[in-house]
Amino acid sequence: MENNIMLLCDIGHTSYHFFDGKNDYKKGVNTFIPEIIQEKVYYICVNVKILKRLKKLKNWINIEPYIDKTQFYQTMGIDRIIASLSINNGVIIDAGSAITVDIIKDNIFNGGFIYPGMIAMNKCFKSISSNLNYNFNFSIDLYNLPKNSQNSISYGYLKGLYLEVISYNLPIILTGGDALKFKTIFKNATVDEMLIFKGMKILIEANK
């Protein structure tokens, strides 16, 4: 499976995220010139503008058509689908601007749900009342009911998510920009920032 020449790229709204088999690095979507790359690049892309540009380049290969989407749903993000392919059993929590939670049992996608990311939820509480304008306390004890405002919103944000995720009794895999924050809550979780690339590799190998 290990192939260091294979260049993988996950393109979002703000950056190209590359993985060369050893290291990963990011390039801004507004400054990076994809034409300069000579090697073969396998990619996924949710950025419509960039996608148009990449379609003209022969060495950039979109792997989205490789996916058998029947077990997923129509509007599900390609990044969630690919991440789901990377594990056999587990709950994947992708903690970014949104938090997506996907449950995979015996290689089957069981479904998933979407929860607001940390920043969006903070703004949400603030929009309700300036009295609720606190950062979340991720060190909160979720087994004791809070008795102050900061903990009241932190508990509101985190406790239900926690109960739902642990209810599956499966390994928990954290990925995304806020993965380490949520590691405080899901102490036994594995943090894996390379999950998307693992899924991409599996898909490419299966389609060779």
Contact residues: a second copy, CB under 8 A: 72-76, 97-99, 101, 103, 110-117, 120-121, 123-125, 127-129, 131-132, 144-149, 151-153, 155-157, 159-164, 167
State the minimum distance, in angstroms, from the CB of residue 39 to a second copy.
32
State the minimum distance, in angstroms, from the CB of residue 132 to a second copy.
7
State the minimum distance, in angstroms, from the CB of residue 36 to a second copy.
31
C-beta of 34 vs 112, nearer to a second copy: 112
Closest Cα to residue 195, out of 111, 106, 84, 45? 84
| H/E run at residue 28 | strand 24-28
C-beta of 10 vs 197, nearer to a second copy: 10
Q: Return d(Cα 23, Cα 202) in angstroms, integer.
A: 18
Q: How many CA atoms lie within 13 A of 40 on its CB side?
A: 9
Q: Return d(Cα 105, Cα 123) in angstroms, integer.
A: 34
Q: How far is CA 102 from CA 52, 75, 147, 199, in A?
A: 29, 14, 32, 14
State the minimum distance, in angstroms, from the CB of residue 94 to a second copy.
13
Q: Are 33 and 41 in contact, with CB atoms under 8 Å apart?
A: no
C-beta of 67 vs 153, nearer to a second copy: 153
Query: CA-based angle 67:16:60, to the nearest 5?
Result: 55
Task: Choose, from 10, 79, 94, 178, the residue flagged as catalytic.
Answer: 79
C-beta of 34 vs 117, nearer to a second copy: 117
**For this structure, is 192 an active site residue?**
no
Known catalytic residues? 79
